[in-house]
Amino acid sequence: MNGAQALVNTLADRGVDICFANPGTSEMHFLAALENPRMKSVLCLFEGVCTGAADGYYRMADKPASTLLHLGPGLANGLANIHNAKRASVGMVNIVGEHSASHLKYDPPLTSDIEGLARPLSHWVRRAESAQSIAWDAATAVAKASEHPGQIATLILPGDTAWQDAGERVLPAPAPSARKAPDAARIDKIAEVLRSGEPALIILANKSTRGRALELAGKVAAGTGCRLGSQFFTARIERGAGRVPLERIPYAVPQGMAFLQGFKHLITVETREPVAFFSYPDKPSLLKAPGTVVHNLSEADEDSEAAFEMLIDALGIGGVAPRLQERIETPPPSGALNPTSIAHALAAALPEHCVFVDESLTTGRESMGLTMGARPHDLINNMGGSIGYGTPVATGAALACPDRRTFCMVGDGSAMYTIQSLWTQAREGLPVTTIIFANNSYAILKAEYANMGAGTPGPQALAMIDIDRPTIDWVAMAKSMGVPGVSVSTAEDFHAAMVRSVDADGPVLIEVKLY
């Protein structure tokens, strides 16, 4: 067994059974090792698609995927979506190829400081020193990526460590999987706050926005009268009919401040207090009102489900039933496309238990709040703010949940960053519906221009924001990568295209023309 085979076998033994790959010359032995039937390999045509797909896979499968990236430049191409994954507490194992040790001393053209590139966005970085150590390194990488919250682990694979004899594999003991328990005294203090009757908002994030933790949060809200919310962007929320509803803190600073104005207490769960996404002239960074007290129910690395169980016990409300979102039957809309008609089309068309990836920076801000009563679904947001995450994350989510339709709602400007995702979706036959909002502009930046107090954009500024010369033909783009597409310009046509896509065998693209 050579080092590459030892690496792949160890990844598979420790539960990493998929690799999103964009290989190069230095990774040929790793590529050969991917013939292992326990490891599914998925070709992506850009490294940012590899890392984004690994992100989406983790969010739905709750276990890390691996990537294969070609030396430092390949890692650099994937860093934007590694950033997004890190901010979403995603676990990921990045395998980065490297020249053999004997070749590096000649400073060949692809030589770079891979550790220097990886370290700012990785929790753990290691360079394999020999073929004999690589199994241990791989097992350690998986253990780090599998921690709570998820970690980014980057293992650098020099060519000679991949092709040399690995000998007998030596592995560390599997890491314990139990999460840290919250501090009981802290829970008791929060119980006192909730018993006081003063207005309180519990802000949920990461693993607390789904499963039993979300259900328990609903019991706390029903038993105490507090409200439940989330940051504007969250890694994954189980929402819709039959789920505990969460109020979304608005993105814009004035609206966010207004939303939080009436609360005396903010109670955070696996997150921090709300912060403005950007700094604006004459606007605060922290959104809470003066005098508001922030309490931490569960730290990011603690067990939020246990925290809610302890809180319910302290409050004595174990018999209370959570309040659940009712199904709101929305008739299919007609007429012009606008945020409301788009929301109604989504609410009417989304099938049960679909996955919904939202990167519609302009349209979705107004639309998503109107889909709370849709059929139950999972909503995924961009936590890191680097655009071009939507289509890769949808690709990975679909591979994690091939029996569920994945919908990806993305603006045309964002979609161009990683549109290569469509090719991978077609090759793998993935059940993904990509919805492109085509306003031929980075429309979000027009609003931000005004928010920053920069005045009215002139011709040159507008030329840096508009993407209408030439206009992108999204249907032709999709067809070129093997994905059938349709263009719609009315609400009824959009709804009809959504419904048709639900029964499609593979990926579909819908261009929504906004004027």
pLDDT digits (tens, 9 = 90+) for 401-446: 999 999 999 999 899 999 999 999 999 999 999 999 998 765 666 6
For residue 511, the surrounding DSSP H or E stretch is: strand 508-513
Closest to 156 measured CA to CA, from 99, 82, 106: 99
CA 168 – CA 170 distance, rounded (Å):
6
Burial letters 4-17, b for 16+ CB under 10 A, else e? bbbbbbbbbbbebb
Residues 59-68, mean pLDDT to the nearest whole number: 98
Q: How confident is the model at residue 77 (pLDDT cuts 50, 70, 90)?
A: very high
Q: What is the pLDDT of residue 459?
A: 79
CA 304 – CA 296 distance, rounded (Å):
11
Contact call for residues 149 and 301 (beta carbons, < 8 A): yes
Contact call for residues 433 and 500 (beta carbons, < 8 A): no
CB atoms within 10 A of CB 120: 11
CA 122 – CA 21 distance, rounded (Å):
18
Residues contacting 105, CB < 8 A, separation 6+: none
CA 294 – CA 313 distance, rounded (Å):
22
Q: What is the pLDDT of residue 272?
A: 96
Q: Which residue(s) pair with 513 in the sheet?
A: 438
CA 239 – CA 19 distance, rounded (Å):
29
Phi then psi for 203, rounded to 5 degrees?
Answer: -105, 115
Helix (H, G, I), strand (E, B), or coil: what is residue 321?
Answer: coil
8-state DSSP, 72: H
CA 513 – CA 300 distance, rounded (Å):
40
Place of tokens 């030329």: 463
Q: What is the pLDDT of residue 456?
A: 77
Token pair, residue 251, equals: 């993105």
pLDDT digits (tens, 9 = 90+) for 338-377: 989 999 999 999 999 999 999 987 666 777 888 999 999 9
Indicate if the pLDDT at residue 485 is higher than 80: yes
Contact call for residues 487 and 478 (beta carbons, < 8 A): no
Question: Dihedral of CA 277/365/241/509: which sign?
Answer: negative
Closest to 110 measured CA to CA, from 121, 99, 96: 99
Indicate if the pLDDT at residue 464 is higher than 80: no
pLDDT digits (tens, 9 = 90+) for 87-128: 999 999 999 999 998 999 999 999 999 999 999 999 999 999
Q: What is the pLDDT of residue 461?
A: 78
Q: Is 3 exposed, middle or buried (0-12, 13-18, 19+ CB in 10 A)?
A: buried
Q: Which amino acid is at 431?
A: P
Cα angle for residues 13, 153, 30 (degrees, 5° grid):
55
The DSSP annotation for 149-205 comes to S--EEEEEEEHHHHHSB--S---PPPPP-PPBPPPHHHHHHHHHHHHTT--EEEEE-
